[in-house]
Amino acid sequence: MTATSQLTAEDLRQMGHAIRFLAMDAIVRAADGHPGTPLGGADIVTGLVSQQMKFDPKVPNWPDRDRFVHSAGHGSMLLYAMLHLAGYDKIDLEQVKSFRVLGSHTAGHPEFDIEAGIETTTGPLGQGITNAVGMAIAEQILNAEFGDDIVDHHTYAYTGDGCLMEGIAAEAIAIAGHLKLGKLVYLWDDNRMTDDGPTDQAVTEDQCVRFENNGWHVQSVDGHDALAVAAAIEAAKADPRPSMIACRTFIGFGIPRIQNDRAAHGGKIFVEDTDAARANLNWPHPAFEIPQAIYDNWHLAGQRGAAERQAWEARLAALPEAKRAEFNRRIAGDLPEGWEVAIHSVKQRMADGEARAGIRASGEVLAGMADAIPELISGAPDLEAATQHKRQLAPFTADDRSGRYIHYGVREFAMGAIMNGMTTHGGVVSVGTTFLVFSDYMRHTLRMAALMGIPGVFVFSHDSIGIGKNGPTHQPVEYLASLRAYPNMVTLRPADGTEMAEAWEIALSRKNGPTNIICSRQPLPPVRTGYEVENRAALGAYVLSDASGPRKATLLATGSEVAIALDAQKALEDEGIATAVVSMPSWELFEQQDKAYRDSVVGRGTVRVGIEAAVRFGWDRYIGEDGAFIGMTGFGASGAETDLFKHFGITADAVVAAVKERL
């Protein structure tokens, strides 16, 4: 990457001002928005984009582009103004003027849209810089496989103080430093001001020491000197460590009333402010009007990028056919031919009649798919043994980028955001696993995956009181409900190995949202016997075992409780009560079926009993207001698994009694 050396410091100053005025004019027009960041960070982004960043705005999805993550998402106009000036067609002047208007691409916070140059959704602080770690990991994984000619790009993340205060930042910084992600560069907008006021109100830590202590390369520059920023980026690229560049700036730079004041963070600005800024910065141009010479200077970077992109395409074309096809397949996010054969091979094995712990079954599926899907990357936050998803995979380390298992350390939140970053980067299929209770620690990353509409396989184990003696801190009771409440997410709780294989088939097929696979720790006796081609779990719920005659009762259950339902069915049928058992691995998929199917499955008009070792919340939709529910009414307890199921009354006897009481 050669810097765009023909631009002078004054050119760059004007280019930065172009960001500032587009941003402030858009914010005034929207009567809403955060002015502090775009005004303060304009020169940082100008230095990066004009001098260092590799991208072609006309081919925004060029796989080997540098990634730029605007982690301080509230300052979104910084990103939009830059994208507009740099030549991304999707962010035209109308979009800038439509900032925060319903239906625009210029939402209040940046929303994942590669065509628009937006590499990930940001706003919830700390996650953007962690997504960037994931992107840098994905780059290294693909680089190891396809070589420098095809995959060799940097990942830049623009961060404010807020992102760095969040706990997830510590996790991200630790992992990136530990893994020596040398192509990752953080640009810290060091403006010493947050919404509450000066950062010294809440921060004592020296950020430079902090990063150095985590193995990062650290520099400090004047953040209003774009050339200095660019030179620091050049030095960052030359260093083998991940780099943090502390760019000293003034928040709200240019508007005298708010500059270097907490009011700049998210406070309102008005036409009088933009007038004052125009006088202050000697910017005579009307609102939304950028002189062509400034546009021309902004477009130089994209033109340089276009040439690089063309050279890259030539290199790609020169690859052996199979290699090129493989690269293109991965980037397209298509699974390799033969993956269905592999999953059905696993499914056949799962029909062997053996009782497997849910998490073991899931691990066996992963083991069975790892060769078929070479881009499948697994990992866990220091629960390798308990979650059993390392299998034959070597670790991804600072020394070995061919590894496919990430030891995240005890850092759940970062794991989720890194997985999302790997996914938005493209080229990998990301699997992460931890205990279901710890999904709370990473919960917001699940939300971001659902909101972005990106896939991801989240395997959550130890799903109920079935874990036994570790006690209520480790026994989920409210989690299934809280996950099912999400839009655009599929949560599957398989009842046995066969449903587990089906859950994985569903998860791997999904392209537009994340999938949670909920696993027991205790063994699940098979509830389906024999191998079937059909993926019955894909219906969301289905009659697993029908009644012997006209149905009087319907038992609806998920996961480990399906076996209890079958036991209860046997007892009821023995007493002449025609009873059906419905397995409901995924409520979301069931909701996608037509009403006639749904009504027939849930057995409206029959006595309905929901059985799940979790709270009732949400179940009334399937069992009705008057249905019986056999499950938890509070938190669990520490004790032997079998004692706990009895103690909390989650037994076949209780189901039988509930049916008879209602008949």
Least distance (Å) between residue 465 CB and a copy of itself = 11
Per CB under 8 A, the list member of 643, 651, 653, 657 interacting with a copy of itself is: 643
166 labelled catalytic:
no
CB 562 within 8 A of CB 583: yes
Burial 336-348 (b: 16+ CB within 10 A, else e): eeebeebbbbbbe
Least distance (Å) between residue 101 CB and a copy of itself = 6
With residue 158 as reference, give the H or E element that holds it: strand 155-159
Q: Does position 466 bind a copy of itself by CB under 8 A?
A: no
Q: Does position 624 bind a copy of itself by CB under 8 A?
A: yes
Q: Does position 204 bind a copy of itself by CB under 8 A?
A: yes
Per-position x/- string for 488-517, each x denoting binding to a copy of itself as judged by CB under 8 A, each - no binding:
x-----------------------------
Q: How far is CA 122 from the centre of its chain?
A: 11
Per CB under 8 A, the list member of 8, 61, 213, 512 interacting with a copy of itself is: 213
CB-count exposure of residue 320 (10 Å: 0-12, 13-18, 19+): exposed
From 49-57, 208-216, 290-298, 308-316, give the range in contact with a copy of itself by CB under 8 A. Answer: 208-216
d(CA 544, CA 546): 7
Residues 181-200 binding a copy of itself (CB under 8 A) are 194-196
Of 126 and 368, which has the nearer Cβ to a copy of itself?
126
Of 306 and 436, which has the nearer Cβ to a copy of itself?
436
Per CB under 8 A, the list member of 8, 9, 93, 201 interacting with a copy of itself is: 201
Per CB under 8 A, the list member of 19, 96, 129, 174 interacting with a copy of itself is: 174
Largest CA distance in the chain: 90
User: What does the DSSP assignment read for 128-142?
Assistant: HHHHHHHHHHHHHHH
The amino acid occupying position 494 is P
Identify the sign of the CA torsion 644, 650, 652, 653.
positive
Q: Which residues contact 244 (CB under 8 A, 6 or more apart)?
A: 185, 186, 188, 207, 208, 211, 216, 217, 218, 219
d(CA 468, CA 639): 5
- Residues tagged in the binding site annotation: 34, 74, 123-125, 161-162, 191, 265, 438, 462, 474, 521
From 52-60, 141-149, 410-418, 493-501, give the range in contact with a copy of itself by CB under 8 A. Answer: 410-418
Of 162 and 305, which has the nearer Cβ to a copy of itself?
162
Per-position x/- string for 56-85, each x denoting binding to a copy of itself as judged by CB under 8 A, each - no binding:
-----------------xx-----------
User: What does the DSSP assignment read for 296-328?
Assistant: HHHHHHHHHHHHHHHHHHHHHHTS-HHHHHHHH
Of 51 and 121, which has the nearer Cβ to a copy of itself?
121
Least distance (Å) between residue 543 CB and a copy of itself = 18
d(CA 122, CA 119): 9
Of 198 and 291, which has the nearer Cβ to a copy of itself?
198
Q: Does position 477 bind a copy of itself by CB under 8 A?
A: yes
Per CB under 8 A, the list member of 437, 459, 562, 607 interacting with a copy of itself is: 437
- Residues tagged in the binding site annotation for Mg(2+): 161, 191
Least distance (Å) between residue 446 CB and a copy of itself = 9
Q: Does position 444 bind a copy of itself by CB under 8 A?
A: yes
Of the candidates 166, 412, 561, 612, the residue annotated as catalytic is 412
CB 22 within 8 A of CB 278: no
Of 211 and 250, which has the nearer Cβ to a copy of itself?
211
Residues 346-405 binding a copy of itself (CB under 8 A) are 382-386, 395
Residues 261-300 binding a copy of itself (CB under 8 A) are 266
Whole-Å CA distances, 25 to 18, 97, 152, 561: 11, 8, 37, 59
With residue 46 as reference, give the H or E element that holds it: helix 36-51
Per CB under 8 A, the list member of 1, 170, 294, 351 interacting with a copy of itself is: 170
CB 50 within 8 A of CB 104: no
CB 375 within 8 A of CB 330: yes
From 250-258, 306-314, 560-568, 632-640, give the range in contact with a copy of itself by CB under 8 A. Answer: 632-640
Least distance (Å) between residue 249 CB and a copy of itself = 18
Of 106 and 545, which has the nearer Cβ to a copy of itself?
106
d(CA 475, CA 257): 53
CB-count exposure of residue 334 (10 Å: 0-12, 13-18, 19+): exposed
Per CB under 8 A, the list member of 109, 323, 324, 570 interacting with a copy of itself is: 109
Of 93 and 202, which has the nearer Cβ to a copy of itself?
202
Tokens 């027009």 belong to 29
From 83-91, 275-283, 441-449, 497-505, give the range in contact with a copy of itself by CB under 8 A. Answer: 441-449
Per-residue DSSP letter, 239: S
Q: What residues are labeled active site?
A: 412
